[in-house]
Chain A
Amino acid sequence: MLEVRNLGKRFGGLAAVSDVSTKIETGKVNAIIGPNGAGKTTFFNLLSGVQKPTSGQILLQGRDITGLRADQIAVLGVSRTFQTTVLFNQASVLDNLIVGHRLRTKSGLLDVLIGSSRLKREEQICRDKAHAALEFVGLEKIATRLAADISQEERKRVAFALALATDPQLVLLDEPAGGVNPEETEGLAELIRKMVANGITVCLIEHKMNMIMSLADRIMVLNYGEKIAEGTPAEIRANPAVIDAYLGSEHAGV
């Protein structure tokens, strides 16, 4: 799906990400873990085009997307969520989601002024997409609720739905289970499995080790911006460098 070659990002003298090479495999749950400040979110920002890498290459299905803007990368099928999702609180959940499919529509100012049939059709498509995405994440029943009134876990699901409404092939999830309780975490893990089962490749950053170890097919470990390990959950758990840098002894071994 996505291949990263010698990716680096420097902020002045600080290397937030340095020389990372990895592959995000199609149809799998790819996880990125590491201590705070390891460069995980910066790595996501580079993949999604929010920040430009200072070195290296990013290939999406063989196509070089290094240096493209975030909106261009989104159009190519890479969608992402943020640690905190800013919704428009005065509008309903559904209203917040309709714009999610905007990138697949073409209506411009002229369509708006003349009220073209294309605009009407595309608005209906966006509305249907929003409903479908809400249904996928299991929130169809709160479609008309105000975004201000929904719970943290529902907010996380709405963030997923927004990402899904863009028709992505790859979804980057930044701490999808941050700030939600253990049962809700399990529900979100279930949802991520459902996404993968529907042909969407997932790459996520997460600190909740139990969730990662049971969910991920492959894990990459970052520390001080460098990749220190990569492999299956079992391999990562047994890796002395990872235990030393991040996991600590309680997660060591099987």
Chain B
Amino acid sequence: MMRLNAKLGWIMLLVLGLVFPFLAGNDYHLTVMSTAYIYVLATLGLNLVTGYTGQYNLAHAGFMAVGAYTVGILTVDYQVPFWIAFVLAGPVAALLGFFIGIVSLRLKGHYFSIFTLCVGYILFLVIEKWESLTHGTVGIIGIPAPSPIGPLTFDSPRALYYLVFFFLVVGLWVMHRIVSSLLGRTFMAIRNGDDLAESLGINLMRNKLLAFMLSVFYAGLAGGLYAGFVRFLGPGIAGVEHTFDMTMYMLVGGIGTLLGPVLGGLTVPWITQTLQWLQEYRFLVFGPILVLLVIFVPHGIVGSFIAWRARKAAQPHGSGHA
């Protein structure tokens, strides 16, 4: 019954996502939504390593930038077709993740986060200063739109919306596979505690590294989409504030849940959009809301719902089951 409800919920979300372009009043809404999807995709990755595996990576936006610049540099400076460059975005980020992971994952807890904070800043600096490769602060201008695949063209906001939506759905489906499998349970055992996980025969380094690489693969993929969607890149996308934004999506929606990043990543940008009239004062409203949320709803919207439902399911339905 419960499984059926969950499935129904996902199908409803899928349908909503498919019909959204017909409900949206204008292209601006489509653009806001597509951008939100791209960040949700990246947040799914962050949630895997942070929410499910317990390692808070503050360089996540840096890896997203690596994916984006992979597409930007290859298409603009080397005339590589968009899709070939795009396919490389995830693997390049994951490869870099491998080398950064084997060093940074030797550290535990806050030390890992502080280390990755530095890594993120270094990635930002490299992008900003290595002008011959990245065009520095000028940025990369004129990235080609995703080239047509057969009859599918990606020159309208609506087509781009569906393209981004497609990758979000695939990303979610794969993430669902991962977190509901033995592999996901392995990651969660590590989140619960290194010592216990290791005493259960789980190789910490190998599994943390796998989670980390998968996580930054998502970031790189999202970055590649971002490059094809926005078609302009500046070093700013590597900034740590984007990692904090994604963290906020994760916390609001529900850390360590599949739906959490989706819900957070879609509601928070719309709320900030509607608070736009407050201009820079909007964070005076948003900040306290976030603080209250972290104190009183630490598991986020989805996490709290799941906990409530699990507790209800765990209640004996009469003495026979007790």
A: residues with CB less than 8 A from B are 48-50, 69-71, 74-75, 79-80, 82, 85-88, 90-92, 95, 98-100, 102-103, 105, 107-109, 111-113, 115, 119, 122-123, 126, 141, 144-146, 149, 162, 166
Contacts and interface: CB of A to CB of B under 8 A. Distances in A.
A75 B322 CA distance: 36
A119 B182 CA distance: 8
B188 A99 contact: yes
Contact of A102 (B177, B201, B307): B201
Contacts of A99: 182, 185-186, 188-189, 200, 202
Given A75-B201, A80-B199, 9 more contacts: A79-B199, A86-B192, A88-B192, A90-B299, A98-B185, A99-B200, A103-B200, A162-B196, A162-B200
Given A113-B174, A123-B181, A102 B200 contact: yes
Contacts, number: 102
A70 B199 contact: yes
Interface in B158-210: 174, 177-178, 181-183, 185-186, 188-189, 191-193, 195-196, 198-204, 210
Nearest to A105: B182
B306 interface: yes
Nearest to B214: A109
A103 B202 contact: yes
A90 B257 CA distance: 11
- Cβ-closest 7 pairs across A and B: A103-B201, A74-B201, A70-B198, A99-B185, A86-B193, A99-B189, A112-B181
Nearest to B311: A146
Contacts of B306: 90
Main secondary structure of the interface of B (DSSP, over half): helix
B198 A50 contact: yes
Contacts of A109: 178, 183, 210, 214
B152 interface: no
Contact of A107 (B182, B307, B322): B182
Contacts of A149: 311, 314
A95 B188 CA distance: 11
A107 B183 contact: yes
A162 B177 CA distance: 24
A107 B177 CA distance: 13
8 contacts: A71-B200, A74-B198, A74-B199, A88-B191, A90-B303, A103-B200, A109-B214, A162-B200
Given A103-B200, A107-B183, A112 B178 contact: yes
Q: Size class of B's contact patch?
A: 20 to 34
B313 interface: yes
B202 A102 contact: yes
Contact of B182 (A74, A95, A122): A122
A78 to B, nearest CB: 9
A102 B183 CA distance: 9
Contacts of B214: 109
B310 interface: yes
B201 A112 contact: no
A105 B188 CA distance: 16
B313 A144 contact: yes
Contacts of B178: 109, 112
A90 B200 contact: no
B188 A88 contact: yes
Given A108-B183, A113-B174, A126-B182, A50 B200 contact: no
Contacts of B183: 107-109, 112
Instruction: Point out which of A71, A95, A98, A105 has the most chain B C-beta atoms below 10 A from its C-beta.
Output: A71
B186 A102 contact: yes
Contacts of B210: 109
